[in-house]
Structure 1
Amino acid sequence: MPLNSLEDHPVLGGDPDHPGLVRIYKDENSPPDYFENSWHCDATWRNAPPMGCVLRCVACPPVGGDTMWANMAKAYADLPEWVKQTIAPLKARHSIEASFGARMSEEKRHALKAQYPDAEHPVVRTHPETGEKILYVNGFTTHFTNYHTAENVRYGQDYAPGGANLLQYLIGRAAIPEYQVRWRWRPNSVAIWDNRATQHYAVMDYAPTVRRMERAGIVGDRPY
């Protein structure tokens, strides 16, 4: 798929009349959802995640349903120097199976993973245009793939708490308010963001009312 074209979503689906347009429609009868209300960078489970996204509000509740974004370049810049040195060589897995696939039957979940195997990305990516260093772990990240080295692990039991705790610490950086902006939606308002340098969170505080959004993800390239 060429860069800067639009991509469909294998689970959320797309508009049959408008390829690349994903409808995120919620109403009074929608079940509780955990796909949106977590800090994430869209589709990092792809080998080449989208470089940017566009989101338009079709209908929104009178109160609530905001979207928040976090600046992950700033989140990286403020890390202690020893953490930067520790994570500089690290890579991590990003999984659609462990996120969107979790509520599927085992057969469907395995088929989803076969179609979209876990992607491996650097924990710190470089923005291809600005050269900024960006903290690149989020809700789709499951584990580090090269943490178990002599520098980090003295004994086997060091691996689980060491790697897991570090990953959760890094993922939690997006939740720091000083890195965030919050957008209050109105009908026909549009947000465009750089999916390489931010994470976002759709606040699920509007039930039982209607929230209808339309999203387009722009094909990107592989992080480095």
Structure 2
Amino acid sequence: MDCCKYKRVMLKLSGEALSGENGFGIDFDVAQRISTEIKELVEMGIEVGAVVGAGNIWRGRNGEGSMDRTTADYMGMLATCINALALQDSLESIGVKTRVQTAIEMKEVAEPFIRRRAMRHLEKGRVVIFAAGTGNPYFSTDTTAALRAAEIEADVILLAKKVDGVYNKDPKKYDDAIKYDKLSYINVLEQGLQVMDSTAASLCMDNNIPILVFALDEPGNIKRAITGENIGTLVSK
């Protein structure tokens, strides 16, 4: 643990991360790779919470214009449960004890979210995967990650993305895009940088939870983030 910068972390994975190059559905080879990296953290004594998005299956805003927004958002919440169960299965197949906790009760497949129980699981070395968002429409899984991180008293949010940090503009479209090594919460909010949505960023700012944005596609990056290597972009005070 002396080599680790953080003791308890919240890992935020996008749904697209689980889809690999397919762009849709679940690539189980990718899930296995991510699970192997999470296992390394557990073996180092790190307590790991995780939130998985659902962009590989359904986004609430996909229903805009043709569907009631609240209904569409609830569909997105249920899609996060599919991803959470897939990640759980992948982790347990390599010997990592896990619990899935959901904001919408579905007792046959997961526990309801109970803060004290979640913290006890973490203390016992179990990975806790938080699913079904906050249980409320109009809130993203970014906000879920920020909220759950505050509730379990996480030291940092590890925001795993397909880009290697935060840029002043889209690096895939602009060759002159500049990457930031460090940013303040205020920078993110005032400049409208696409780190997290404004609700999530404000929640992190109010509770002083740093956000480390890094590329998930690079094997070993999760461990590098934990050990304090200079990767990605750190958002803090």
Same fold at TM > 0.5: no
TM-score by length of 2: 0.29
Higher relative contact order (CA 8 A, sep 6+): 1
Larger radius of gyration: 1
TM-score by length of 1: 0.30
Structure with the higher strand share, 1 or 2: 1
